[in-house]
Amino acid sequence: MTSNAILQIVLYMALLLGLAWPLGAYMARVYTDRPCGLDRLLGPVERLLYRLCGLDPEKEMDWKGYAVALLVFTGFSLLLLYLQQRLQAFLPLNPDGMAAVPPDLALNTATSFSTNTNWQAYGGESTMSYLTQMVGLTSHNFLSAAAGMSVLTALIRGLTRRETANLGNFWKDLTRSTLYILLPLSMILALVLVWQGMPQTFAGAATATLMEPTGYEAPVKDDAGAPVLDEAGKPKTEPARMTEQTISRGPVASQVAIKQLGTNGGGFFNVNSAHPFENPTPLTNFLEMLAILLIPASLCVTFGIMVRDRRQGLSLLAAMTLIFVVLLGACVLSEQAGNPKLAGLGLDAQASDAMLAQAGGNMEGKEVRFGITDSAIWATATTAASNGSVNSMHDSYTPLGGLVPMLLMQLGEVVYGGVGSGLYGMLVFAIVAVFVAGLMVGRTPEYLGKKIEPFEMKMASLVILIPPFLSLMGTALGVFLPGAKAAIANPGAHGFSEILYAFSSMSNNNGSAFAGLSANALFYNTAGAACMFLGRFWLAIPTLAIAGSLASKKIVPQGAGTLPTHTPLFVGLLVCVVLVVGALTFFPALALGPIAEHLDMVGR
């Protein structure tokens, strides 16, 4: 690894962990109803929202009521976004005349953005109107992220409260997450992005005259717009000349800011943050990478403050950081090593090494302005969180380099993870870790003074096992059904990796893709929508059930047999549990995909 790469990684991690402290403390004040500095400005707005909706924010819910509110809210949001896509041709703010989105794609997209997945089987600039992008997709970026943060808050209350059924009020948690956390941060970041040259306009696409017109073969069409065929049945073409270029634009900065901060990841443009309008400068690239993990890392500090033991939050943050840094290093090293098959192109070893050194390794699919290190940091961060945005094409990574983002999703996206969802997933792993430790010494396990009993373990098992089940079953169908196999752009092990990556992404609510799979097909739109919905709520609801069960219990005093959950020993145990569960579940599939492709690439 080069010294430049090490410096960039150290700077990134130092700023991330440094900013996590003040933001985590601020969010703890928001969720415990203490003054946070924005009360005078936003308090009247918050109270007005409650009055308009007829809500009593102080009326608390048990875990079932909280879960019902979450499902009702998401179901209504999903339906509204689906209808907006289907009717966008008749709605305003459509200067480029975008047609209605097809039903299966509209269902997939509505489910994707409602579940904080933001999987995109479409090109934003050629499919979605400004109204759909702004009112539909961007608003869901706020609300789906706030829903995940609300579930985490309910789980923290379950760990801190005793002998009660109440976990708080979903509508209050949703409102405060959006109003006091996501909205202010997004406004600040959006203004910086606009300053750096990112578009924020309602004007339609711009037309530019090419300085060097180019010729091409254009398809011949009849009066009805259908292609004209020649005698061999092939489409006829005729010489044409391109003198103008259409440049898409729109309200980009406002969507990009919340897509990163809310770990959403849905791009305004088809190539996401590799597009110069969505990521124009090195500063925007660094800030967007930082924004991906900022709130998830900060929530660990929030957790420690809310449970009145900051060491508990630090132990979880340490476990996440340890896994992240190791896998990030593996990704950077794999990409900097390049493709060994270049040595077989007839070049001597000295020339080949010089060429690799000049290129910096595997630059295929990467922006020269970002290079390998920034591309690898983004790829690792976006899949460690449930973000899914990209500034390079993961499909072009080396097999082991592409394995890293795939594995981070398959671990359950608990290495920082999505806003809220990542930490409550890691807390479930922490419950499993203390249970395993309890089995070793023959003692009823405890976590933060609450006994972990069969009900909690059953719910924890659902949280851990459902995403792998969805990922592997979807992959099995993808390699079995003829229509699904037709979408594969590459044969062999890499094609298998494309399908495995797609279902790992959708089932874990990530949204990134290898980009070599034609995902806008009936099978992937419908199967993907099911995986995204189940991957979100079959985890959130068992998590709320755990919260409700823990809230009803007494606090058990610590004894000689209590496992401390803030020590390096527990951090190591937690890391081992996360890695072992992921390895045992996915290693056979990874062996058929990226590992087999790597062995073939090195000639073994």
pLDDT in tens, 185-211: 999 999 999 999 999 998 888 888 988
pLDDT tens sequence across 480-539: 998 888 888 787 899 999 999 999 999 999 999 887 788 899 999 999 999 999 999 999
As a whole number of angstroms, the distance between CA 516 and CA 510 comes to 17
Cβ atoms of 202 and 93 within 8 Å: the answer is: yes
Give 245's DSSP letter. E
DSSP code per residue over 314-378: HHHHHHHHHHHHHHHHHHHHHHHH--GGGGGSS--HHHHHHHHHHHTS--TTB-TTTHHHHHHHH
Closest CA to 96 of 253, 248, 245, 256: 248
Note whether 336 and 360 are within 8 A (CB): yes
CB 284 within 8 A of CB 198: yes
Task: Please name the amino acid found at residue 597.
Answer: E
Question: Is residue 131 located within the same domain as residue 53?
Answer: yes
- Alpha-carbon distance of 335 to 402, in angstroms, equals 9
19 class by beta-carbon count within 10 Å (0-12 exposed, 13-18 middle, 19+ buried): middle
Domain count, the chain: 2
Portion of the chain with pLDDT greater than 90, in percent: 75
In a domain, 582, yes or no: no
Output the pLDDT for position 256: 95
Q: Which residues contact 516 (CB under 8 A, 6 or more apart)?
A: 395, 488, 489, 490, 494, 495, 498
Asked if residue 180 lies in contact with residue 36, where contact means CB atoms within 8 angstroms, the answer is yes
Residue 547 within any structural domain of the chain = no
Question: Considering only CA atoms, which of 418, 519, 355, 551 is closest in space to residue 115?
Answer: 418
Residues 48 and 67 in one domain: yes
Residues spanned by the domain of 87: 20-199+253-302
Residue 380 forms part of a structural domain:
no
In a domain, 316, yes or no: no
Q: 232 and 136 share a domain? A: no
- In this predicted structure, what is the pLDDT of residue 561? 75
How many Å apart are CA 278 and CA 453, to the nearest integer?
A: 48
Q: Are residues 189 and 211 in the same domain?
A: no
pTM for the full model? Answer: 0.91
- For residue 226, the model assigns a pLDDT of 77
- Taking the C-alpha atoms of residue 107 and residue 178, their distance in angstroms, rounded to an integer, is 25
Q: Which uninterrupted H or E stretch holds 29?
A: helix 3-31
Same-domain pairing of 232 and 112 = no
Q: Which two three-digit tokens encode residue 457?
A: 């373990």
Pick the range with the lowest mean pLDDT from 175-189, 494-508, 550-564: 550-564
In angstroms, the CA 547 to CA 181 distance is 23
Residue 349: burial class (beta carbons within 10 Å; 0-12, 13-18, 19+): exposed
Mean pLDDT throughout 319-336? 95
Q: Inform me whether the pLDDT recorded for 351 exceeds 90.
A: no
Cα separation, 189 vs 210, in Å, equals 33
The residue written with tokens 């132990």 in the block is: 315
Q: In this structure, what are the phi and psi dihedrals at residue 388, rounded to the nearest 5 degrees?
A: 90, -10
Question: Do residue 213 and residue 147 come from a single domain?
Answer: no
Q: Give the residue from 261, 278, 302 where a domain finishes.
A: 302
Task: Report how far residue 229's alpha carbon sits from residue 224's, in angstroms, rounded to the nearest whole number.
Answer: 14
pLDDT tens digit sequence for 96-147:
889 999 999 999 999 999 999 999 999 888 899 999 999 999 999 999 999 9
Average pLDDT over residues 21-41: 95
Identify the pLDDT of residue 349.
45
* Cβ-based neighbour number of residue 587 at 10 Å: 13
Tell me phi and psi for residue 237, to 5 degrees: -130, 160
Q: Give the pLDDT confidence of 408-466 residue by residue, as tens digits.
A: 999 988 999 999 999 999 999 999 999 999 888 777 889 999 999 999 999 999 999 99
Contact 563, 445 (CB under 8 A): yes
Question: Is there a single domain that holds both residue 210 and residue 183?
Answer: no
- Mention every residue, 6+ apart, whose C-beta is less than 8 A from residue 234: none
- One domain for residues 240 and 275: no
Q: What are phi and psi of 239, to 5 degrees?
A: -60, 140
Strand duo 237-247 + 206-219: pairing: antiparallel
Tokens 């969802």 sit on residue = 421
Question: Same domain for 224 and 153?
Answer: no
Distance CA 323, CA 578 (A): 9
95 found inside a domain: yes
Element (H, E) at 576: helix 568-590
Instruction: Please report whether residue 191 resides in a domain.
Output: yes
Same domain, yes or no, for 94 and 164?
Answer: yes
Does residue 165 share a domain with residue 240? no
365: left (phi over 0), alpha (psi -120 to 50) or beta: left
> Which range has the worst mean pLDDT, 231-235, 237-241, 326-330, 473-477?
231-235
Residue 580 lies in a domain: no
Helix, coil or strand: residue 311: helix
Q: Are residues 31 and 98 in the same domain?
A: yes
Q: Which of 26-35, 202-211, 299-308 has the weakest average pLDDT?
A: 202-211
Q: Alpha carbon 175 to chain centroid distance?
A: 22
What is d(CA 336, CA 330) in angstroms, rounded to the nearest whole number?
Answer: 10
Instruction: Determine, yes or no, domain membership for 509.
Output: no
CB under 8 Å to 68, separation ≥6 — which residues? none
Dihedral Cα 438, 443, 446, 452, nearest 10 deg: 80
φ and ψ at residue 242, rounded to 5 degrees = -95, 120
